[in-house]
Structure 1
Amino acid sequence: MKCKFLFLFFIIPLLGIAQFTDLNLKQIEKDISNPKSGYGYEKLIFKFKGYPKSLDSIEAQHLYYGRNFIKNKVSVGDDEFAKLADAFKAGDFQKCVVLGKVLYGKDPSNLDVILILLRAYDSLKDGINFVHHLNQLRLLTEAIKGSGDGKSEKTAFVVNSVGDEYILLNVLNIGQDFNRNSVTYKDSVIDVWSKEDVKIHIKVLYLN
């Protein structure tokens, strides 16, 4: 997995219980493309970049899952992201900030990019930018936690990518001692992470 290294430093606890809300992807797709809906994607991004704490749980849900329906997203398979990942692995955090800010400008709600910027600002002791991106990270992970309770396939947590799944696992303190079993569907994969009597169901979307 190309971005698995990101999760090794994700040690900041993200506390709080997200409210379990119905997830309607078709409605989200419709809402984010309509500026008059109140959940237009550009409007949400503007608030997210400026003051992430101003978004409520429904707005956060539209922001996170609405990313599935926008164009020109940054992918971990892109050359630009590969350069950012290499800079991170090399510990060149100044370069991480330079490269990361470019990708953040293109795709502000990309969790992989936010994580690298968060770690870079932490290493550079830039508290203002660190706290800002931490608030963004909390908002998006709370949106994921609000998609279900993970107790069954029907109420699985829903994530946009495998990378986001591992971020969620870290938030939930699910470690390498858990076993994974997967069931593949047309538009998603359901991963069941289990250890003794504990089972966590996570749905990874493949909408593209």
Structure 2
Amino acid sequence: MLKQIILLLFLLLGITISAQETSFIAPDYKAIEKEISNKKSTYYYPKLMERLIKNDTLLTHDEFRHLYFGYFFQPKYNAFWQSPDEKKLREFYNKDTLGVADYDEIIKLANHSLSDFPFDLKQLNYLAYIYHLKGDEEAAKTASYKFHNIMNVIFSSGDGKQCETGFHVLLVEHEYVMLNLFDIKSNSQSLVDNCDYLGFEKGKYKVDGIYFNIEKMLENESKSLK
């Protein structure tokens, strides 16, 4: 059901994702860390996060880049993060149809998950879909705005053609959100240097696989195991 939600949502709300074919900028983590720690900077992290939580739709692409990649440096960041409501939400994912009575419970659970991790792309997408079903188009567009801009941050970080230009992600789950977005299925997963490589069925797509840079995820994992 989740794939259908993603495809339907983009059709309903006119959302576009701009994959970067030739133009992309890998995140400069040292510069980002410096900016988000500077109280005088427009990218000071607490202020940016406050604007995101308050659904500020004037956040720019660069501000979203500092929000997303800056989260690596937040004490709460956990490369192993899973939604605390995953089990309950999965029950709704697995339903063929949703009843009106389901909407408010899903909205409550999805927002609770996002309060724990504001870059839970799966819940942002699902939340926008549920708001649309409920008839709250303003809330649906706000959730879609966040989803759209976060996805564009990921797309702007690389082209995925090799490890050196892999897409940078906070979670492995974000890799699969991207694949679902384009209705692509992987049949293998392997670690190549500091990249997660998702392989596809040979000859089925224009490329045989996509690289995701998980350098900061690996650093976080290493710290958590010490």
After superposition, residues 96-115 of structure 1 pair within 5 angstroms as: 96-115=106-125
Equivalent of 1:203 in 183, 190, 212: 212
Q: Deviations over 1:82-104 (max 9, x none)?
A: 33443444542210112222333
Distance in 1, matches of 2:189 and 2:109, equals 36
Given the superposition, is the C-alpha separation of residues 8 and 165 from structure 1 closer, same or farther in structure 2, using an over 3 Å criterion?
A: farther
**Aligned residue for 2:82?**
77
The whole-number CA distance in structure 2 between the counterparts of 1:40 and 1:111 is 23
Query: In the alignment, which residue of structure 2 is the partner of 1:86?
Result: 91
Q: In the alignment, residue 180 of structure 1 is paired with which amino acid? A: S
1:6–1:63 distance in 2 versus 1, CA, 3 Å: farther
1:40-79 alignment runs, 5 A limit = 40-72=44-76, 77-79=82-84
Deviation at 1:115, TM superposition (A): 2.2
Counterpart of 1:182 in structure 2 is: 190
Q: d(CA) in 2 for partners of 1:105 and 1:79? A: 11
User: How far does the alpha carbon of each residue in 1:3-61 deviate from its partner, in whole angstroms, 9 at most, with x for none?
Assistant: xx744521144333455123122332333233323212222223334455422222111
The alignment partner of 1:198 has SS state of: coil
Q: Does 1:129 align with 2:128?
A: no
* Aligned partner of 1:157 among 159, 163, 167: 167
C-alpha separation in 2, matches of 1:163 and 1:199: 20
Q: Secondary structure at the match of 1:151?
A: coil
Using the size of structure 1 for normalisation, the TM-score is 0.79
Say whether 1:95 aligns with 2:97. no
Indicate how the Cα distance of structure 1 residues 89 and 126 shifts in structure 2: closer, same or farther if over 3 A, else same: farther
- The residue identity in structure 1 corresponding to 2:88 is K
Corresponding position of 1:191: 197
Structure 1: which 5+ runs fail to align?
Answer: none
Higher relative contact order (CA 8 A, sep 6+): 2
Question: Is 134-143 or 192-201 further displaced after alignment?
Answer: 192-201
Percent identical pairs in the alignment equals 25
CA distance in 1, matches of 2:142, 2:121: 14
Higher fraction of strand: 1
Structure 1 SS opposite 2:85: helix
Structure 2: segments with no counterpart, 5+ residues? 11-15, 221-226
Structure 2 counterpart SS, 1:183: strand
- The Cα shift of 1:175 comes to 1.6
Instruction: Give the greater-gyration-radius structure (CA).
Output: 2
User: Shift of the alpha carbon at 1:159?
Assistant: 1.4
Structure 1 residues 6 and 64: alpha-carbon distance in aligned structure 2, compared to 1, 3 A threshold: farther
- 2:173 maps to a residue whose letter is G
> RMSD over aligned Cα, in angstroms?
2.8
